[in-house]
Amino acid sequence: MLHRKPYLARAFRRDGRKGGLVPTMAEDERKSPPSLDDLESRLRAARAREDDEKGTARARGRANSAGMGLGFRVAIELVAGVMVGFGIGYGLDLLFGTLPLLMVVFLFLGAAAGVLNVYRSAKGMGEAVGLGEAQRRMQERTKDGSDQSRGDGRGEPG
């Protein structure tokens, strides 16, 4: 939605026969004052058309930065899991006085959680090109009701 055309470009279209710019609304407006619903639907149609035109080109340009963002996210996710596992283990160890034991156990559990999170974020958003596409995909999945394979899909086989 951020890539709207300027007002002038939206309000006029190029007329093939006359070879000039004609106001797009002129014909309808002469018949009757346009209702808001009508305006809304026309706006939506125009936006959809614009998205179709720009979608492919923009997606290609966005792929790189989205990949970098995903990589960043994956790295943070991995480290966060290990850190939280270590923190919990060390805290419990200090509580019970069993120093190296729980720390080691929870470190491994935390690492497993980190890898799991990485897997989820890569599966949920990795296949999509940009965040917008990921969002759309997620939306479709939610509509299907197959929540299992969503971004955080729990209980996914394998």
As measured in angstroms, the least distance from the Cβ of 8 to other proteins is 14
> b/e map of 68-104 (b: 16 or more CB within 10 Å)?
eebeebbeebbeebbeebbebbbeebeeeeeeeebbe
Tokens representing 25 are 């609304």
Q: Is 88 in the site for other proteins (CB under 8 A)?
A: yes
Q: Is 129 in the site for other proteins (CB under 8 A)?
A: no
Q: Is 147 in the site for other proteins (CB under 8 A)?
A: yes
Tokens 């080691």 sit on residue: 104
As measured in angstroms, the least distance from the Cβ of 4 to other proteins is 9
Q: Is 135 in the site for other proteins (CB under 8 A)?
A: yes
Which position among 42, 59, 86, 92 is part of the footprint of other proteins (CB under 8 A)?
A: 86
Find the length of the chain.
158
Closer of 15 and 39 to other proteins (Cβ): 39
